[in-house]
A and B are shown apart, each in its own frame.
Chain A
Amino acid sequence: MRTYPKDYPIVQIRNLHKLFPVGRGQNLHAIDGVDFDLRPGKTLALVGESGSGKSTVARCIVRLIEPSSGDVVLHGNSILPLTSLQMARQYRQLQMVFQDPNASLNPRMTVRKVLEEPLKLHLDMSAGTRASRLRELIEMVGLTAAHLDRYPHELSGGQRQRVGIARALAINPEVVLLDEPTASLDVSVRGQILDLLKRLQSELNLAFLFISHDLQVVRHVADEVAVMYLGRIVEQGPTEEIFRHPRHPYTQALISAAPVAQWGVERHRVRLAGEISTPVDPPAACRLAGRCPIEQPVCSRRDMPLQEIGPDHRVACPFAVQALLDRKTG
C-alpha cells in the first residue's frame, strides 16, 4: 500500500467539457465544466438523475470517451495528451467497475480467464505467481478457488459483481471508478458488495469515484458528494452536510424525493416544475431555470458558478447562499 500526504489529490479533474454533435451545428453538452479531486482512501460520490452526465464523466477520465476540453490529471500529470499505448500503462493505476456484470464479463471466458487477462497485460508474472495471485484475488472478494473455473452465467448477480471488482483490483490500481456498481443487485446483496468495497478501500487505500443514483447507498459509502444536473455540478460537499443541509434547490428536490424505508418519516418535499430541459446548446443560465421553486429573473440570464459556503461545501445558487447568510445574521 502506497502512502501519500493527507488530502493528496491523486486525480484532478479540471474544467472538463464533453460535447456531442447532434447535427445542424448543434451540440449536446453532456459535461459542462466539471471540477473535482479524488483522494486516496476517500470516496467521492457523483449523484444525479439519468442524463446528468455522471457516467460520461467516468468514461472521460479513463478516456473511453475523449473529453472536448479541460484536463484530467493523474499524479500531477495530464493524461489527455497520452497516446493509446501510453494510456494503457495508466490503466495500471486507473480501473473501472461497471454497472451490469452480465454485460461487462465475457460470457465465453471462465472467471480464471477474466482475472488472468489484466495480469498478463500489465504485469510480468511467472505462471506460478499468477496462480497464487488469482487465488488471493478471488478470496479477497469473498469467493473461493472453486469459482475460478465457472462461467459468468453460473454465478449469481452478486458473485458476478465480485468478479468485476476482482478484475478491477487485479493489478493493484490506486483509483477505481465505480459506475452504479450495485444498481442491478437485490438489497441484501447490495449491502454485502458495499461492505466489500469499503473493506477493500481501507485495506488498499483506494480512491473511489462512486457513481450512483441511489442516495441511500451514497450516504452509506461516500465521504463527499457532488450533485450533477444537466452536465454541471450544482452542489458539492461532505456527505452528511449534503444530506442534512442540502442548499441547492435541485439537491433539496432530489434528496426529498428519495423514499426512506422507515415508518413515520415525514418528508418535506421540494418539488420542481415540469421536466428536465434539453442539454442541446443550453443558454447561459442556471440549469434549473424554469423548474426552480426559488427562481429569480436573473436565473435565466446568466450562469450560476459554484460558491463556497462552508468548509469544502460549494453551491451553484446565489439565492441559496443569500438565504443562508440571512439566517446567520438574522
Chain B
Amino acid sequence: MSDPILQVENFSGGFLSKTGEMTRILHDVSYTLERGRITAVVGETGSGKSVTALSVLGLQAPTFRRLSGRILFDGTDLTAIGPKELRALRGSRISMVFQDARAALNPVFSIGQQLADTYRLHHGGSRRAAMAQAVDALRRVHIPEPERRARQYPHEFSGGMAQRAMIAMAALICTPELLILDEPTTGLDVTTQAEIMDLVLDLARARNLTVCLITHDLGVVAETCDHVVVMNRGVVAETGPTERIFTAPRDAYTKRLLGASQLAEAAE
C-alpha cells in the first residue's frame, strides 16, 4: 500500500552564474518517500543528492534556480508556498541533520540552551520546563551525564557526541514526521558511526518516523534502509527496495557504484 509523505516530481534546476549562465545540475529528478520507511538517497559528489534534499526545506544555495517540477509534502507543493509557510513546516514537520554537527550548532550558546530554545520555539512553555526537556532529550540519545553536558558548549563535545545532540534536537525536541539526514556519519569513526546509525534506527522505529538518509556510504545503506534511490549526475539512476538494489541492480551506474564500494569483497 502506497502512502507517500514526500514526492519529488520531475524536479529540474541548476546554478545561475554571475554572468547569467545556467548550469543544469538536476534533470527531471523524481522519487517518493513512503511514510514510516527509511529511504536512502545515494550518490557520489555532484550527483545532486544533497541539493534535492535541501530544496525540500527551501535551503538550497541562493544561486540555485528551479526550472521545472515540484516537491509535494503530504500533498502540499513546497515549491509553490512562501517562505513563511515553509518556515512553519521546518522543524515542526520536517527536520534535518547535517554532516558536521559542531558546525551546525551555535558555538556561543550551550548545547542545553540551544535545545531548550528550539523546544520553546516549537512548543512554548517556561524556560525551566524547556531545559528539562533538553536534558531529557540528551539522555535519550545516550549522552552520559546529560545535566552536566547540557551546560557545555559545542567545542567541548566530540564529533559523535555533537551529532547525537543534533539528532536529539532534530528528532526529539522537534517532533517531525520526516527526518532528513545529510551524511550524518561522514567524518566520524566507524564505531561511533555504527552507534549513531543504531540510534537513528531506534528513534525511527519507536516514533514511526519517515527517514531520508543522504549518503555516499553503501555499507550503511545495506544495513539500515528499506528503500534506495540511486542518483548520478543529477539524474535518478534507479530506485527500489534495498535488497533488490543490492542483489539485482539494473542500472549500469548502480552496478558500478556497488562494485566500487565492495572493493575487498570483489578481491576475494
Measured CB to CB, the residues of A under 8 A from B are 49-50, 157, 186-188, 190-191, 194, 213, 215-217, 219-220, 253-254, 257-265, 267, 269, 272, 274-275
- B216: chain A residues within 8 A (beta carbon): 186-187
B190 at the interface (CB under 8 A from A): yes
Q: Are A262 and B222 in contact (CB under 8 A)?
A: yes
Q: Are A187 and B246 in contact (CB under 8 A)?
A: no
**Cβ of B87 to closest chain A Cβ, rounded Å:** 34
User: What does DSSP make chain B's interface, helix, strand, loop or mixed?
Assistant: helix
Q: Are B190 and A216 in contact (CB under 8 A)?
A: no
**Cβ of A250 to closest chain B Cβ, rounded Å:** 9
Q: Are A275 and B243 in contact (CB under 8 A)?
A: no
Q: Are B194 and A262 in contact (CB under 8 A)?
A: no
- A265: chain B residues within 8 A (beta carbon): 222-223
- B83: chain A residues within 8 A (beta carbon): none
User: What does DSSP make chain A's interface, helix, strand, loop or mixed?
Assistant: loop
- B220: chain A residues within 8 A (beta carbon): 259
Known contacts A216-B263, A269-B194, A275-B158; is A261 also within 8 Å of B258 by CB? yes
**Cβ of A215 to closest chain B Cβ, rounded Å:** 7
Interface string of B163-194 (1 = CB under 8 A from A): 00000000000000000000000000111111
Q: Are A220 and B267 in contact (CB under 8 A)?
A: yes
Measured CB to CB, the residues of B under 8 A from A are 44-45, 144, 158, 161, 189-194, 197, 216-223, 242-243, 246-247, 256-265, 267
Q: Which of B191, B256, B262 contacts A49 (CB 8 A)?
A: B191
Q: Are A187 and B257 in contact (CB under 8 A)?
A: yes
Given contacts A220-B267, A262-B265, A275-B158, 12 further A-B contacts (CB under 8 A): A49-B190, A49-B191, A187-B44, A220-B264, A254-B191, A257-B191, A257-B194, A258-B219, A261-B219, A261-B265, A267-B223, A269-B194
Q: Are A261 and B218 in contact (CB under 8 A)?
A: yes
Q: Are A217 and B263 in contact (CB under 8 A)?
A: yes
- A213: chain B residues within 8 A (beta carbon): 189-190
**Cβ of A3 to closest chain B Cβ, rounded Å:** 27
A265 to B242, CA, bound (A): 13
- 26 A–B pairs (Cβ distance < 8 Å), ordered by A: A186-B44, A187-B218, A187-B257, A188-B257, A190-B263, A215-B190, A216-B261, A220-B263, A254-B190, A254-B191, A257-B190, A257-B193, A258-B190, A259-B219, A259-B223, A260-B219, A260-B222, A260-B265, A261-B217, A261-B219, A261-B265, A262-B222, A263-B247, A272-B191, A275-B158, A275-B161
